C-alpha cells in the first residue's frame, strides 16, 4: 500500500513538473548577431558634419568659384540670386535683425535670417543637392557653393575661403534665437 501510494505521488509530481513553466528566459547581455563594421565601411557612409566642424572633409572653395556652380546647378529651383524661388528662398537678410518670424508670415526662412549653423549648409548640400543628382558634388564644389551662399547672405567676405577650419567659425545671426523645447516634462512616462 505504501509503495503504491509512493508511486502514485511521484507520478503526480512528475506530471506537475512537466506542465509547470520555467521562469521566463532572461535576455543575454549580447546576442552575438551582426558583424563588426570595418573602418572602410563606416567611412563610406559617414558623411555627416557637426556644428563644431567634426566630419568636414579636406578641400576648400570660394564664393567666386561657387557662383558659376550655383548658376548651372541651383538657380533653376532657387532663382538667379537665391531670392526668387520657386523652391526655398536661400538668400536675404532682414534689416530688423530681430527674428520676427512669428509676426511676419512672409519673411523667408533664408540662410542669413533663419539658419543657426553654417555647417548645416555644407552637410545638406553635400547629401541631398541637387535633387536631380544628389550626392554628385565634389567636396570642393560643396565648399564653393557654401561660400557663395554664405557670402550672398552677407555672412562672410567675398574673398573668404571656406574649408574645415573656417566654416565652423562663421557666425550665424539666427543662432541666438533658437531655444530648446521647454514644454513641461511628462507627468507620466508613456507606457511601453
Q: Which stretch binds another protein (CB under 8 A): 40-48, 56-64, 68-76, 77-85?
A: 40-48
**Rounded CA gap, 173 and 124, in Å?**
19
Nearer to another protein, 61 or 108 (CB): 108
Q: Which stretch binds another protein (CB under 8 A): 4-12, 16-24, 42-50, 144-152?
A: 42-50
- Of 130, 149, 137, 128, the residue nearest 57 (C-alpha): 137
| DSSP state at residue 27 | P
First to last CA, the chain: 56
Using an 8 Å Cβ cutoff, are 93 and 113 in contact? Answer: yes
**Distance of closest approach, residue 166 Cβ to another protein, in angstroms:** 18
- Looking at the Cβ atoms of 72 and 188, the one nearer to another protein is 188
Grid cell locating 12: 503526480
Binding site for another protein (CB under 8 A): 27, 29-31, 33-37, 41-42, 45-52, 98-107, 109, 111, 114-117, 119-120, 123-124, 127-128, 131, 134-135, 174, 177-183, 186-192
Amino acid at each position: 500500500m505504501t509503495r503504491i501510494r509512493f508511486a502514485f505521488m511521484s507520478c503526480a509530481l512528475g506530471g506537475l513538473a512537466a506542465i509547470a513553466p520555467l521562469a521566463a528566459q532572461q535576455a543575454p547581455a549580447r546576442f552575438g548577431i551582426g558583424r563588426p563594421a570595418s573602418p572602410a565601411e563606416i567611412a563610406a557612409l559617414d558623411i555627416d558634419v557637426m556644428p563644431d566642424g567634426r566630419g568636414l572633409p579636406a578641400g576648400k572653395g570660394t564664393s567666386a568659384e561657387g557662383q558659376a556652380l550655383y548658376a548651372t546647378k541651383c538657380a533653376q529651383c532657387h532663382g538667379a540670386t537665391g531670392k526668387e524661388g520657386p523652391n526655398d528662398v536661400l538668400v536675404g537678410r532682414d534689416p530688423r535683425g530681430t527674428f520676427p518670424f512669428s509676426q511676419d508670415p512672409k519673411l523667408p526662412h533664408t540662410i542669413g535670417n533663419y539658419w543657426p549653423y553654417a555647417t548645416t549648409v555644407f552637410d545638406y548640400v553635400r547629401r541631398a543637392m541637387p535633387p536631380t543628382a544628389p550626392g554628385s558634388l565634389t567636396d570642393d564644389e560643396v565648399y564653393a557653393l557654401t561660400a557663395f551662399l554664405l557670402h550672398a547672405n552677407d555672412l562672410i567676405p567675398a574673398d573668404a575661403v571656406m574649408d574645415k577650419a573656417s566654416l565652423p567659425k562663421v557666425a550665424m545671426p539666427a543662432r541666438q534665437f533658437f531655444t530648446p523645447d521647454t514644454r513641461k516634462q511628462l507627468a507620466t512616462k508613456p507606457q511601453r
